[in-house]
Amino acid sequence: MNTATARYAGQLRTEATHVASGNIIQTDAPTDNHGRGEAFSPTDLVATALGSCMMTVMGIVAERHKLSLVDSTFSVVKHMSSDAPRRIAQIDVTFSLPAALSGSDRTLLERTALTCPVTLSLHPEIRQNVVFLYV
């Protein structure tokens, strides 16, 4: 079964549908590449997928260990290459996690995040700068 189906909507936009749920994601080309930047670009989705995957696997481990990550956040910054071909050169991910987590819990969650499926799937030339803040 398909994971997703998509259609080109014109004007550098796509509309992808998640088959199992029916959820829809729209993309738009970024303003620095002929688009209007009115939605996630495909490369924005890649960068966001990295942070989302890391947070998801940390959530799995946190639930297993009866830890709460509710209201934890992350931000991503995507850096595109300045040389050809156009590609993602670096993704910065910054997590804000609960200060109450013990040192051993922090180590467990950080190791988990750094081995998420998206991390392991990205090309090794894409630098991944990951910061964990405990607030």
Domain coordinates in residue numbering, the chain: 4-33, 42-134
H-helix or E-strand spanning residue 7: strand 4-10
- Determine the topology of domain 42-134 in CATH: GMP Synthetase; Chain A, domain 3 (3.30.300)
pLDDT digits (tens, 9 = 90+) for 103-128: 999 999 999 999 999 999 999 999 99
Cα–Cα distance, 117 to 40 (Å, whole number) = 21
Neighbouring-strand partners of residue 22: none
pLDDT recorded at residue 60: 98
Please write down the HEC assignment for all residues of 55-123: HHHHHHHHHHCCCCCCCCEEEEEEEECCCCCCCEEEEEEEEEECCCCCHHHHHHHHHHHCCCHHHHHCC
- pTM, two decimals, is 0.95
Cα–Cα distance, 80 to 36 (Å, whole number) = 17
